[in-house]
Amino acid sequence: MCGGGGGSSNEEAREDADERHEENLALQREQMAEQKRQFQVTRDDNQKRYREQKRISEAAPPPPPAEDAGVATPAIDELMISGANRKKYRSAEYKKETRDRATSSLGIN
């Protein structure tokens, strides 16, 4: 006389579990698709960067400095060097002349 109504709740629980399982699988597929898309974007970006770096590394070297160049200067001609930073780009001869002028004006030779 007992046990007649118990089968339907087990069936509903199983259906609910199957439904949740399908939802979880769909969510997992969606996450895997997004992960694959992000991987592809990253891979494309890395390949682009690699090609650019390879192109730069295989480029011709810069021309040698001019024969009359005493000290390396910035490659940008428009670069304005002011104050103390200017001193490091001056030639040794200029520095010596400046030092000689300064010491001779003070009477130190």
Structurally, how many domains does the chain consist of?
2
CB–CB of 81/89 below 8 Å? Answer: yes
Q: Are residues 105 and 74 in the same domain?
A: yes
pTM for the whole thing?
A: 0.43
Choose among 38, 56, 34, 35: nearest CA to 46.
38
The pLDDT score that the predictor gives to residue 16 is 93
pLDDT at 81: 56
Low-confidence ranges of the chain (pLDDT < 50): 1
Domain assignment of residue 84, given as a range: 70-109
Instruction: Please indicate, yes or no, whether residues 19 and 54 belong to a single structural domain of this protein.
Output: yes
CA dihedral 25→27→29→30, nearest 10 degrees, is: 170
- Indicate if 81 and 55 belong to the same structural domain: no
Per the CB < 8 A criterion, the answer to whether 71 and 89 are in contact is yes
> Which of 61, 79, 94 corresponds to the end of one domain?
61
| Tokens read off for 105 | 């004006």
